[in-house]
Structure 1
Amino acid sequence: METVLVIGGTRFVGRHAVEEFRAHGYEVAIFNRGKHENPFTDDEDIVHHKGDRTDDDALVRARDRIDPDFIIDCVAYYPRDVRTATEIFADADAYVYVSSGAAYGTEVVPKREDETPLCECTSEQAVDDSWDTYGPRKAAGDRAVFEAGERGVRAMSIRPPVVYGPYDYTGRFEYWVDRVSTYDRLLVPHTALRHLVYVDDVARGLRTIAEQGDPGEAYNVGDHSLPVLSEWINLLADSVGTSVDLIKVSERELAIADLESSDFPLYRDYPHVLDTHKLESMEWSSTPLSEAVSETVEHIDSADSSEKRGPDRDSEERVLDVLETI
């Protein structure tokens, strides 16, 4: 039986990766710092190796103890993380790095793995921890994968856009579920297409790439359909069992309450679309949206949605009140 080591493994993408590999007959081990609750404590077959992934010696100890066939790297946020991991696990059957659609450095539609340029990453950006450098750092991690592939390491990467699904801790969907559950009239900014991906599809993509991917290659992953924000909200409302009146607004209307379109979760002002044909050629396919949204909503506690994740309702009401008088 083959063994998979998931670096990360207890929060979101990593948690689903553990479940995906377990469901397909793999032995699974987790390597992380143990700072988050481990949902697999009752499964004695899942080995938990505690350590900091920035500690090279700790990674070596995990390798020697577990002897993994596949490594799924969910928490490599700096180029050094990827370079180190591809060296330490160079003899493994597969190393798969979780990159990001943010790694692309050009706004084109769609973004293709072998055509669209990646972000550049300076030495200063490579060690910075701000959101502004996230894309460049992920791109540099991709380049480390390519270099490892050239050395004969079976290293690959997966590039998801915004990920949603059960155990998502970002609150992006929670905000809108709370809104459709509580109010019958909502503001929604005019927005461009934004590619999203269901977390179980990312997990299946990770397994597909580990089993079938080519060394030194990157693979986009994303939903088959691309709803705009208003359509996402209606999908969530349908799943909750309600309907909402969506009032589409521009920056001019939002300025009434000192709001901006970017204040709303999941907003994007330019289309972000990933071409997923490369992964689909390996018989991967995405979950139907209605099923993915239903599973997501089922695991959301809307009472936990705080206003800090988006505009507060009072500000929205100010805009709605003014628009009613026009």
Structure 2
Amino acid sequence: MDSALVIGGTRFIGRQLVSDLLDHGYDVTLLNRGTHENPFVDEDRVDHIEGDRTNDSALEAAVMTADPAAVFDCVAYQPRDVQAATRIFADCAAYVYVSSGAAYGREDIPKRENETPLEPCTREEATDDTTATYGKRKAEGDRAIAAAAERGVNAMSVRPCIVYGPHDYTARLDFWIDRVNRFDRILIPGDGTNIWHRAYVDDVASALRLVAERGAAGEAYNVGDRRLVTIEEMIDLIADALETTVDIVHAGPRELAAAEIELADYPLYREYPHVLSTAKLADLGWESTPPETAMDQSVADHLASDRTGRENGPDRDAEARVLEILDTV
């Protein structure tokens, strides 16, 4: 394959995907509404088509104009988006849908593609646009992929867990980088052993490309760091990247409640472990970036940006009250 249509392509996962495709010899066309700055505006091998991916006519025009071998759908948020795309791009060599680890409907450790059940999704939920139904809608999109494959379409899906890395507009990891960069005492919810599987954005991009090139029709592929780290280990990696040291302080529900903070108020904290098996993707030849390298790049991007992530977690003043309580125990 030597040409790709990326639906989205200018912000986070899509942006890194375009860079990865260019590095591997692809010519790329972007399809989006043009509401975000295009970082590839000066790149000769990247064309741009302005259009709304929820408009079937825009997708039909894009496939006629770009004539892509592979299509990567980074912004399909409702099942009908996937159903339309698999019909319109049926003659392309590959269609890859960006699903989510949130599509799984059972708390297996780890969650496996062909074993762990997916979330159910009602008709009403399929047309919803709230975070409460996000996983359900992604799961229904995965079912649309399987149905398309039965019709002979080379459609596949990739299920990332929490994605982090350069240009992450969610700023979830930025909250923790900002904390470590500004303070020498870091309050961590729980005992520090919490695990919420994360995926470095470069690895998600390479996974999408490899699935298009080597994946099997109708299949889904999990993607996440091959070496998982706890939330406390994540803080240590950030400190190492910043060339500093911090004192880690653990706080449970009772201590946090004194400042009206809950465990779930912290970004990248999940009470029950969320772990995805990545063996199926690795069998395609995919490799994961070492966490140290991924964190170095993430911290460098944070320092060069204006993101703080402070909006994603408790105020430091509230944490200070918790630290005072813990100091007296």
**TM-score, normalized by length of structure 1?**
0.98
Per-residue CA distance 1:226-271 (angstroms, 9 max, x = gap): 1111110111011011111111111011001000011111000001
How far has the Cα of 1:303 moved from its partner? 5.3
Partner of 2:76: 76
Partner of 2:26: 26
* Structure 1 contact 178–303 (Cα < 8 Å) conserved: no
Matched, 1:237 2:243: no
Per-residue CA distance 1:150-190 (angstroms, 9 max, x = gap): 10000000000000011000111111111001101111012
| Equivalent position SS for 1:82 | helix
1:22-101 correspondence to structure 2 within 5 Å: 22-101=22-101
For residues 224 and 159 of structure 2, the distance between their equivalents in structure 1, rounded to whole angstroms, comes to: 9
For residues 203 and 309 of structure 2, the distance between their equivalents in structure 1, rounded to whole angstroms, comes to: 28
Partner of 2:185: 185
Partner of 1:325: 328
How far has the Cα of 1:52 moved from its partner? 0.2
1:124-139 correspondence to structure 2 within 5 Å: 124-139=124-139
For residues 324 and 108 of structure 1, the distance between their equivalents in structure 2, rounded to whole angstroms, comes to: 38
1:269-284 correspondence to structure 2 within 5 Å: 269-284=271-286
Partner of 1:291: 293
For residues 15 and 4 of structure 1, the distance between their equivalents in structure 2, rounded to whole angstroms, comes to: 13
Matched, 1:16 2:16: yes
For residues 87 and 55 of structure 1, the distance between their equivalents in structure 2, rounded to whole angstroms, comes to: 13
1:101-140 correspondence to structure 2 within 5 Å: 101-140=101-140
* Structure 2 contact 178–309 (Cα < 8 Å) conserved: no
For residues 45 and 230 of structure 2, the distance between their equivalents in structure 1, rounded to whole angstroms, comes to: 42
How far has the Cα of 1:117 moved from its partner? 0.1
Letter in 1 for 2:23: A
* Structure 1 contact 96–157 (Cα < 8 Å) conserved: yes
For residues 178 and 17 of structure 1, the distance between their equivalents in structure 2, rounded to whole angstroms, comes to: 26
Partner of 1:307: 310
Report percent identity of matched pairs: 56
Letter in 2 for 1:314: D
How far has the Cα of 1:101 moved from its partner? 0.2
Per-residue CA distance 1:272-321 (angstroms, 9 max, x = gap): 00001000001111001100100111111375315321110100000001
For residues 300 and 213 of structure 1, the distance between their equivalents in structure 2, rounded to whole angstroms, comes to: 33
Mind listing any 5+ residue stretches in structure 2 that lack a counterpart? none
For residues 307 and 17 of structure 1, the distance between their equivalents in structure 2, rounded to whole angstroms, comes to: 27
Q: 2:208 aligns with which of 189, 206, 209?
A: 206
Letter in 1 for 2:229: P
* Structure 1 contact 49–62 (Cα < 8 Å) conserved: yes
1:129-278 correspondence to structure 2 within 5 Å: 129-190=129-190, 192-278=194-280
How far has the Cα of 1:4 moved from its partner? 0.2
Letter in 2 for 1:215: A
* Structure 1 contact 220–278 (Cα < 8 Å) conserved: yes
For residues 306 and 159 of structure 2, the distance between their equivalents in structure 1, rounded to whole angstroms, comes to: 32
| Equivalent position SS for 1:247 | strand
How far has the Cα of 1:322 moved from its partner? 1.1
Q: CA RMSD in A?
A: 1.0
Per-residue CA distance 1:41-60 (angstroms, 9 max, x = gap): 11132110000001101110
Letter in 2 for 1:142: D
Partner of 1:6: 6
Letter in 2 for 1:298: A
Runs of 4+ in 1 over 2 A off after TM superposition: 301-304
For residues 302 and 151 of structure 2, the distance between their equivalents in structure 1, rounded to whole angstroms, comes to: 44
* Structure 1 contact 194–228 (Cα < 8 Å) conserved: yes
How far has the Cα of 1:128 moved from its partner? 0.8
Mind listing any 5+ residue stretches in structure 1 that lack a counterpart? none
For residues 8 and 54 of structure 1, the distance between their equivalents in structure 2, rounded to whole angstroms, comes to: 12
